[in-house]
Amino acid sequence: MSEELFKQMAQSIIDGDSDLSVELAKKAIEINMHPLEAITKGFVVGVNYIGDQFGLGEAFLPELVMAGEAMKAAVATLEPELIKLGSARETLGRVVLATVEGDIHEIGKTLVGTMLSASGFEVTDLGVDQPADKIIGKAIEIDAQIIGMSALLTTTMVRQREVIEELDKEGLRPRIKVMVGGAPITRDWFQKIKADGYSEDAVGAVKVAKELMGKSDQ
Ligand code: B12
């Protein structure tokens, strides 16, 4: 039963059918499927497929855009459920989250933000295409302990390093810790740019953020 639903979810993204992806997300809620399971085993499979096809030249920009919209709509439908299931008891820390300058991919970043909020972090999500000075300025303004940066393009991941270099120059680390992620981000890259934390998915992002706050046992 779930397997069939996962397949339909993936297909709705591949077809760029937002109405259907929202309907399937609602169905998942109805049958008490864990929202993260619906995202990772269903919808993400579809968006990854389209991404691969695009990379191979077998799918084109309009299809990528439609798939992105359908994915965004499905995740937005599941977000309130993720928040409800969250284990928030106290404020674990303040996080400024952004997709770096030149990059407009927001789905993964938003999912990381939702999971962090659901787990008790106060998240200020600046959105996409955010330059270093905006990210750092906001972190200072709200006295954030963590900056989380998403980058989905190999051409924009270098922006993560720029923010870290700027923080170092201003003497703002280790007061502000930096966590990085996004599809092209690897452990190698994270070590190379001397970030404080890295995760390849939203569940791992929560774990890393807790570790950075010295609260890994919660
Ligand atoms: C959907 C999509 C789009 C949508 C985005 C819609 C939106 N509102 O976000 C649109 C159509 C706008 C788009 C545009 C482009 N895209 Co695009 N896109 C994708 C696609 C298919 C899926 C991305 C996605 O949402 N995945 C689902 C989410 C849940 O996963 P995620 O983002 O990876 O996030 C998870 C983790 O990475 C991690 N994470 C993410 N952020 C963070 C942050 C922190 C702090 C942490 C700890 C963890 C973390 O946790 C998340 C949740 O598990 C990818 C392919 C892929 N497989 O990644 C291509 C892809 C990223 N795009 C690509 C390209 C080339 C483009 C364009 C340049 C195309 C063009 N010619 O115009 C433009 C770039 C525009 C720009 N300036 O940014 C390439 C990048 C290639 C490269 N080597 O750089 C990819 C890989 C496709 C491909 N195979 O060629 N894209």
What distance separates the 2 farthest-apart alpha carbons in the chain?
55
User: Which of the listed residues 65, 85, 105 is the one where a domain comes to its end?
Assistant: 85
Q: Name the pLDDT band for 215 (thresholds 50, 70, 90).
A: confident
Closest residue (by CA) to atom 12 of ligand 1?
A: 65
- pLDDT cut 90: percent of the chain above it: 80
The pLDDT value given to residue 85: 82
- Taking the alpha carbons at both ends of the chain, their separation in whole angstroms is 34
**pTM above 0.85?**
yes
Q: Is residue 137 scored above 80 in pLDDT? A: yes
User: Which of the listed residues 57, 85, 113 is the one where a domain comes to its end?
Assistant: 85
Q: Which atom of ligand 1 is nearest to the CA of 71?
A: 25
Residue to probe by mutation, ligand 1, list 13, 49, 64, most atoms within 8 Å of CB: 64
The pLDDT value given to residue 165: 97
Q: Name the pLDDT band for 90 (thresholds 50, 70, 90).
A: low
The pLDDT value given to residue 119: 79
Q: Assess whether 100 and 170 both reside in one domain.
A: yes
Residue with structure tokens 């659901």? 118
- Rounded distance from Cα 64 to ligand 1 centre (Å): 10
Task: Calculate mean pLDDT across residues 154-158.
Answer: 98
Q: What angle do CA 27, 43, 197 make, to 5 degrees?
A: 125
Domain count for the chain, please give it. 2
- pLDDT cut 70: percent of the chain above it: 96
Closest residue (by CA) to atom 82 of ligand 1?
A: 153
What range defines the domain where residue 27 resides?
2-85
Task: Calculate mean pLDDT across residues 131-150.
Answer: 97
Closest residue (by CA) to atom 33 of ligand 1?
A: 183
CA separation for the pair 46, 11 (Å, rounded): 6
**CATH classification at residue 65:** 1.10.1240.10
Q: Distances from the Cα of 85 to the Cαs of 30, 119, 120, 172, 183, in angstroms?
A: 15, 9, 11, 34, 26
Q: Is residue 89 scored above 80 in pLDDT? A: no
3-state secondary structure of 157: coil
Q: Assess whether 28 and 113 both reside in one domain.
A: no
Closest Cα partner for 79 from 114, 47, 109, 105? 114
Q: Bridge-partner residues for 74, per DSSP?
A: none
Q: Is residue 2 scored above 70 in pLDDT? A: yes
The pLDDT value given to residue 88: 54
3-state secondary structure of 181: strand
- Rounded distance from Cα 152 to ligand 1 centre (Å): 5
Closest Cα partner for 146 from 195, 188, 216? 195
- Rounded distance from Cα 217 to ligand 1 centre (Å): 32
Q: Name the pLDDT band for 218 (thresholds 50, 70, 90).
A: very low
Q: Name the pLDDT band for 84 (thresholds 50, 70, 90).
A: confident
Q: Which atom of ligand 1 is nearest to the CA of 50?
A: 21
Residues at CB less than 6 angstroms from ligand 1:
44, 47-48, 50-52, 54-55, 61, 64-65, 67-68, 71-72, 102-109, 111-112, 148-150, 152-154, 179-184, 199-202, 205
Alpha helices in 56-177 (DSSP H): 61-85, 107-118, 132-141, 158-169
Q: Is residue 81 scored above 50 in pLDDT? A: yes
